[in-house]
A and B are shown apart, each in its own frame.
Chain A
């Protein structure tokens, strides 16, 4: 395995930037679907860091972790979108500011 030109630090920095954009999306967007997509962005940023470290350590476990994260994300999307559809049916809205039945 020859040393790569791009150091692992750059990959981890990029992954941190993407993760923070995902956090901003979760905090700032009001559309439940967009919040959900931002969560996917955060998961992908984590995957990128895992793959970068896997190469750094020459260890395949990181790749398997990425694989499992992808599988769990697929399961999460199935349930999450079903939840959004169910919420839309009852509230006729997916604005998360409207979802405060528990509060008042």
Chain B
């Protein structure tokens, strides 16, 4: 289906380009070029770039081509001048050159070493979550890069792009806030594997009741745009040392979301319908003994939710389980207007400003070039910068036809 569409629209694009080249009337050429631009806008839609398709139609097919048509009509240049060619040898030479280039380009594309097949995944995201009760502020290091500093209990850092090497083993280390990673002894250490396209949360939790040494659990989330709209994605991390494994139940629908989640592990992602939910945690196989509950909590669609099950110290040195609920809104999908806009106003602010400046200069340039008093005057005077010897005054006059 997609291939058929591609072939049909591609044929229209090539035909309209050819008609643009051979039309005798410049107005027809401009109209064929607009058709060609519309085909390219269609390809942008097929390539997951709806924003570019829109800009292509409004700016190219709209503004720029209207300018072309306006100038053609203004100058009365619809009819192509049919004079004798100044360089008659140019036609065959150009055709031969173009064919050679086409063959070379096709050979390079089909047989070349360009890596077309492998789909590349986006860079991974990493963040840190502090769920160690009684511990002070913490610093998180991934290899030697500080990814979160001075993180307080119950806090999480924002997801950050990890642009260093992926698909290899990295070390996450945990320090007291302000400690020097080169000399200080890490509070916790964990070797993790980071893969492209993932979003990893490094959750520091207390290891065992009463024992407050932090332990690191890695949860893999998915923060890309949620294609199944109306759902939030949930990942749970079990840090309840007292129970060998737990189950998480959505009480309203009486459905078990996550079963048999062992201590010290993160679950796989599950989908949760948007809206209010009451979430309960039970020890596995015992649905009477409710450990913790998350009452009437609102979940938005297109968010990624991380539940960390922790034990909190109560008065009298008793412990009570609770769910730490951390929500992250999904990042916009590839090619969407939000994605383009976010890139434009983060990485590309400077080029954007420079292009704006360029447009301003072009506007002034167009005024200067076409202004009556500033345009070059008739008759054209021809001057030589370095007149030949014996010539005292510049040569003035029209060049002969």
Given contacts A17-B14, A52-B47, contact A97 B102 (CB under 8 A): no
Given contacts A20-B102, A86-B370, A95-B83, contact A7 B116 (CB under 8 A): yes
- Whether A29 contacts B334 by the Cβ 8 Å rule is no
Interface size class of B (residues with CB under 8 A): 35 or more
Cβ of A13: which chain B residues have Cβ within 8 Å of it?
A: 105-106, 109-110
* Per-position 1/0 for B58-69, Cβ under 8 A of A: 011001100110
Given contacts A11-B47, A55-B48, A70-B55, contact A82 B98 (CB under 8 A): no
Cβ of A28: which chain B residues have Cβ within 8 Å of it?
A: 21, 90-91, 94
- B385: Cβ under 8 A from any A Cβ: no
Cβ of B334: which chain A residues have Cβ within 8 Å of it?
A: 1, 55, 58, 60
Interface residues of B in 277-321 (CB under 8 A from A): none
Contact of A64 among B83, B340, B380 (CB under 8 A): B340
- B169: Cβ under 8 A from any A Cβ: no
The binding surface of chain A is classed by DSSP as helix
Cβ of B30: which chain A residues have Cβ within 8 Å of it?
A: 37
Interface residues of B in 331-364 (CB under 8 A from A): 334-335, 339-340, 343-344, 347-348, 351, 355, 358-359, 361-363
- Whether B21 contacts A21 by the Cβ 8 Å rule is yes
Interface residues of A in 29-61 (CB under 8 A from B): 29-31, 33-34, 36-38, 40-41, 44, 47-48, 51-52, 54-61
- Whether B74 contacts A37 by the Cβ 8 Å rule is no
The binding surface of chain B is classed by DSSP as helix
Q: CB within 8 Å of A: which residues of B?
A: 1-3, 6, 10, 13-14, 17-18, 20-21, 26, 29-30, 33, 36-37, 40, 43-44, 46-49, 51-52, 55-56, 59-60, 63-64, 67-68, 71-72, 74-75, 77, 80-81, 83, 85-86, 90-91, 94-95, 97-98, 101-102, 105-106, 109-110, 116, 119-122, 334-335, 339-340, 343-344, 347-348, 351, 355, 358-359, 361-363, 365-367, 369-370, 375-378, 380, 382, 399
Interchain residue pairs with CB less than 8 A apart (11): A10-B6, A21-B17, A31-B26, A37-B29, A63-B335, A70-B56, A77-B67, A84-B75, A85-B370, A86-B375, A100-B86
Q: CB within 8 Å of B: which residues of A?
A: 1, 3-14, 16-18, 20-25, 27-31, 33-34, 36-38, 40-41, 44, 47-48, 51-52, 54-61, 63-64, 66-68, 70-79, 81-86, 88-90, 93-95, 97, 100-101, 104
